[in-house]
Structure formats: C-alpha cells, structure tokens
Structure 1
C-alpha cells in the first residue's frame, strides 16, 4: 500500500472516484473547477493506492489565498478494503503530518456532512462511524455537531422590533465587541479558543477570519440600544458560494432580552436587499438559544455537519 499526495498526472484517477455512501462528498466537476481556482491542489489531495488502483482518497480544501489547507472535505475508502477505519487513519495521519511539517500552525479540521435525520438511518450512521474512528485516531479529537441552515426569499424577511440601531465603526471598536461577545459564548469553537488562546487572541482570530472572507467589510455594523450603548454586532458575510449570516452576537450584559432576533433580522435584511436568493448559516447544536433564533427567523436546517479538529487548533 502506498500513501502519498497526488501530482497533476493523477487527476484522471482522482476524479474517477465516486462515493456511494450517504454522506457529503466532492464530485468531479466541482473538484476540477475549484482545482483551477486553487481551492483544491494536487499536494493537498492524498491517495492510498494498491496495485496502481486508488483505494482511498482525502480531499483537503483551502481558500485560493491559503498557504495551507483549512478543511478536509471528502474522505473515502473503497468498499473492497476490509478495515476502512484503519486505512483512513493512515491516510489522515500522513496528510496531517505533512501539513504540520510544512509549517501549518493549525491543522485542518474534518468537515463531514450528513442528513438532518442521520441518527435514525443505519446506513448514514454506519458511514459516519468508520470516518469518526479514523478522525479521532488521527488526532482530530474535538467533536462538534453543527446545524447548517438556509433562508430563502419565500420565507420572508424577519421583522425587526426596532429596538436597536445599527452603525458603522472602526476595526478597534469591532475588535472590542468581538472580545466582549466571546465571554460566556455557547459556541464550541469560541469556548475552545478562549480556553487555549485567551479573550484577546480569540477576538482577533474571529475578526481576522471574517476580514478574510469574500464578504465586504463595509457591511459590518454595531448594534446599539436607544441610549447608545453597544448591545452586539452584525457581520453579514459570504462564502465562495453564496451569502451567509457570518457572525452575530450580543454582549453579556444585554443577553436574555431577545436582541439576538433583532441582530439576525438586520443581517437577513441586508443580504435580502442586496438580492440574495440564498443565505446560509451554521450554529452548534449545543447552542440552543442561537438555533431557536434561526428557527424564529425562518431559517431551515438542511444539513448536519460533524466537525473534527485537533485540540488547540
């Protein structure tokens, strides 16, 4: 068995792989398109081959400007392999080790997409099981279950109660509000970052991430009460594929008053008025108040994403 990153000469064999299990995967057309944009790369694509046949494939993804990959989008082992979790562990360990040796300060996470009803479907649960075993064995031991949500125009823009005003602000002002919102957050990644990085670095990392997204900085707003006090922030954003909610939050002293609904309504309004036909969002299943706010705003859960990451990454 040979495990290695691919070269341009492997493209035909890489795109010939198909996944027949009920999990999200990357089809040939998307891979080729994003390979041309630099979001998939031969050196980020790893295979296991036996007798010149590809028996396992791992596709890591990054932004076109990324030096190192950000996420593993697709992990597949051929059905002929007796122990798929063992081979997948070898493949992940080799790829992650190479990225670390190349200077990646943060190992890419593994993003596995499932149907919302995955727990009641043995086929989906089985497809998750060996991938989960491999991810954990390869060191991606932090596990988070996340909702992927969608809003479409036919749902209607949620009504604002007019309790907040939304104003522009400097980067320094936004950074301070990112820091305040992180305190007491129910978001799993934010909580992990607070524990390992502290509040200042966590706020900087959150802000830098959204500054690097395809959305425009000029969309960002601080949310203020009628008295002018800062209640939270709204960061409408975008992915390479569509508009999304980005980041929203309420500072600790104003939580419990329903302001999250006002902030989410503002983000949705901004995106809808720009002509967005689809707005996506994510939140952890453990963040019940945020999930409830999305439901009230007519965002529908379309997928479940299981996120596996290395501690401290």
Structure 2
C-alpha cells in the first residue's frame, strides 16, 4: 500500500467524493452534495483513500448544524482491500479524537442478496479491523397507501388528555415497538426517544393517540406529519394484542392529514413487530447496522 494516499478533503474539491461510482445506487439515502448544502457534511470530516489518483475508499462523517453530540460515520464505501478501509478509518478517528459510531446503510433484505453482500463485506470488515463492534440492526419500513383493515371495535382511540398523560404512559412502557429517528434524536438533541419523546417531538398532542380497552389504556402512538416525511415516531404497548389496530390507527391519522407515505423504524430483532408492520402494508426500505467503539456499552 505504498502508493496509497489517505487524507481529508479540502474546500473546493468536494466533487472528489462523488468521483467514486456509487456501489449501491438503488439505496435510498441523502446525496453527498445535499448533505454539504445542508451543513451536515463538511470537507474536513470527509476522508478519501487514493491509489494512483483514483478514489478507492471514501468516508463521510455527519453532524447536522446545532447538534449536541459527536459526528457519526454515515457514508463509507470501499473498492479495495479491507485493510485500506481500516487504515482510512484509523487516520480519521485519530483526527476526530477517537472512534465514533458508524451507521452502515444497507438495502432491504441485504443478507439474502449476493450482489449486495459482495459490496458490503469489505467496508464492514474494515470497520471491524478499525476497532468498531457490531451492536445491532434497525429496519426502515414504508407504507405507501395499502388499504388498512377496518377496526374491530375492541379498542377506543383518543388524543391524550395532556402531555402529562403521554409521559405517564411512556414511563410504563418498557420497550417501545417503533422508534423512528432514535439515532438522530440522540445525536442531534441528546434525547432518548424511548423515555422522553416529547423532548424531541414537542408537546403538541394532536399527533398522539391513546388506545384503550374497557376504559384502560393499552397502547400509545405518536406521529409526526410535518417532519422531513410523515412518520410513526413512537409506538408502545401495554397489551401486545392492541398492536395491529394501533398501527392501523396511527397510519389513518397521518393519511387523514394528507400523507401518501408513512415511515417507521424498528429493531430487526423485534420479529413480531416487523411482521405486524408488514401485515399493515409496510415494506422494508433499508437496514442500518450499528458499529460502535469497543469501549461503548
């Protein structure tokens, strides 16, 4: 690797990042140029590895303006041996003050797609060589107008009385089913969406619904129709039997507001939740595998 040059970009050569062909062009993600325009990507936190003047590895760390956390690795592509990618990551980590999280974006059902595995094996191996450890996987799912099942009448749905009721129910829900944008909430706002969703979503209650059976709350959902896209921000249950109808009710709330697409994020290991999303008409858009520093819990 004696002919290898590893360095950050300097102002004025941002196009160098896009000179490397996109190895997964069908993966839905923010373009590098758009990230630059929005201020989340910066030349000094974008690194490349060049061999004979050609970009063979590229990595872009993201930190939106006003964020309170550390940047995270959002884009990492490698057209070389894993050792090249690891060398790039080591150099960048040193400049950043130490290893940081890497959210590896992957197409839906990537483990069952040989053409995708051929692309992603090298950067994932490089991340491991650089000391990052795989910590979990989250799926992004999308509903785009599939007809919803009619309500059985078993549950009543109503807006919460006030923010205090939302907080009280959140405190009773140990593990929410759906948390969309949980990584962004933590990195940008320092907010744990699972335990304090109102700190991220605001205290307006119109996008929330409480599901009740015989007058007792059995579930809670919070939607956001005016974010970057309509989404199910939070969905948690006190009775898992309410999951299908609460999901459908949440989508109805957004569709009534004009949404043609609804986004929901779920942990991949929550198999029953993923299955219910799919029965409701959601389809997987992509996965994100988290690699974190080895000393991070």
* TM-score clears 0.5: yes
* Counterpart position of 1:57: 58
Provide the secondary structure at the position in 1 that maps to 2:13: helix
Paired residues of 2:142 and 2:284 also in contact (CA < 8 A)? yes
Question: What are the Cα deviations for residues 21-73 of structure 1, in whole angstroms up to 9, with x where unaligned?
Answer: 5784868xx22223111122223322223455433111223434325555433
Deviation, structure 1 residue 300? 1.8
Deviation, structure 1 residue 245? 1.7
Deviation, structure 1 residue 141? 1.2
The separation in 1 between residues aligned to 2:211 and 2:141, in whole angstroms, is 27
* Counterpart position of 1:92: 89
Return the match for 1:274 from 244, 247, 257.
Answer: 257
Matches within 5 A, 1:106-121: 107-116=100-109, 118-121=110-113
2:276 corresponds to 1:293: yes
* Counterpart position of 1:133: 125
* Counterpart position of 1:193: none
The separation in 2 between residues aligned to 1:25 and 1:269, in whole angstroms, is 25
Aligned-residue CA RMSD (Å): 3.5
* Counterpart position of 2:232: 245
Structure 1 residues 206, 238: CA separation in 2 closer, same or farther (over 3 Å shift)? farther
The separation in 2 between residues aligned to 1:97 and 1:230, in whole angstroms, is 50
Paired residues of 2:160 and 2:208 also in contact (CA < 8 A)? yes
The separation in 2 between residues aligned to 1:188 and 1:212, in whole angstroms, is 12
Paired residues of 1:234 and 1:249 also in contact (CA < 8 A)? yes
* Counterpart position of 2:21: 18
The separation in 1 between residues aligned to 2:67 and 2:108, in whole angstroms, is 29
Structure 1 residues 187, 236: CA separation in 2 closer, same or farther (over 3 Å shift)? closer
Structure 1 residues 228, 206: CA separation in 2 closer, same or farther (over 3 Å shift)? same
Structure 1 residues 286, 7: CA separation in 2 closer, same or farther (over 3 Å shift)? same
Question: What are the Cα deviations for residues 133-183 of structure 1, in whole angstroms up to 9, with x where unaligned?
Answer: 122233331342333321112x12343334032323544443343333225
Deviation, structure 1 residue 203? 8.7
2:68 corresponds to 1:73: no
Structure 1 residues 210, 172: CA separation in 2 closer, same or farther (over 3 Å shift)? closer
Structure 1 residues 204, 148: CA separation in 2 closer, same or farther (over 3 Å shift)? closer
Question: What are the Cα deviations for residues 209-236 of structure 1, in whole angstroms up to 9, with x where unaligned?
Answer: 67446x8844442524244433221111
Structure 1 residues 299, 33: CA separation in 2 closer, same or farther (over 3 Å shift)? same
In the superposition, the TM-score normalised over structure 2's length comes to 0.78
The separation in 1 between residues aligned to 2:29 and 2:246, in whole angstroms, is 34
2:288 corresponds to 1:305: yes
In the superposition, the TM-score normalised over structure 1's length comes to 0.75
Paired residues of 1:244 and 1:281 also in contact (CA < 8 A)? yes
The separation in 1 between residues aligned to 2:107 and 2:160, in whole angstroms, is 38
* Counterpart position of 2:38: 37
Q: Which runs of 5+ in 1 are unaligned?
A: 190-201
Paired residues of 1:110 and 1:135 also in contact (CA < 8 A)? no
Provide the secondary structure at the position in 1 that maps to 2:148: coil
